[in-house]
Amino acid sequence: MYLLLRPSKLGAEERAAAYALPAHITPFSVLSLLRSMEQDPRLGFPADRREELATTIHELERRCFGPGADTDGQADLERLARDWVTRAS
């Protein structure tokens, strides 16, 4: 009976492994990663963290796809993706 009612350890492991850096860091891949996190209720981000994530997504869209887009921000993209993957773990 204990085996059926005991808490599952799998949930924490699944959550920790749910997000990883994209194999190819591009504005599209990082934006996709961040949007997936934004829509994932399992992360349990508090309201202020969700707001920060939404702001980050908006700034990334503006910086990479808006007028005068920055096309040379590879290191910033990787740093941004790594930061949010760490927060989601």
pLDDT digits (tens, 9 = 90+) for 26-70: 999 999 999 999 999 999 899 999 999 999 999 999 988 888 777
For 4, 18, 34, 36, 89, the CA distances from 11, given in Å and listed in that order, are 15, 10, 21, 18, 12
Other Cβ atoms less than 10 A from the Cβ of 77: the count is: 20
C-alpha to C-alpha distance for 64 and 77, rounded to whole angstroms: 10
- pLDDT category, 1, cuts 50, 70, 90? low
The count of other CB atoms within 10 Å of the CB of residue 84 is: 22
Taking the model in full, what pTM does it have? 0.76
Confidence tier at 85 by pLDDT (50, 70, 90):
very high
Higher-confidence position of 14 and 76:
76
Asked if the model's pLDDT at residue 79 lies above 80, the reply is yes
CB distance 5 to 78 below 8 Å:
no
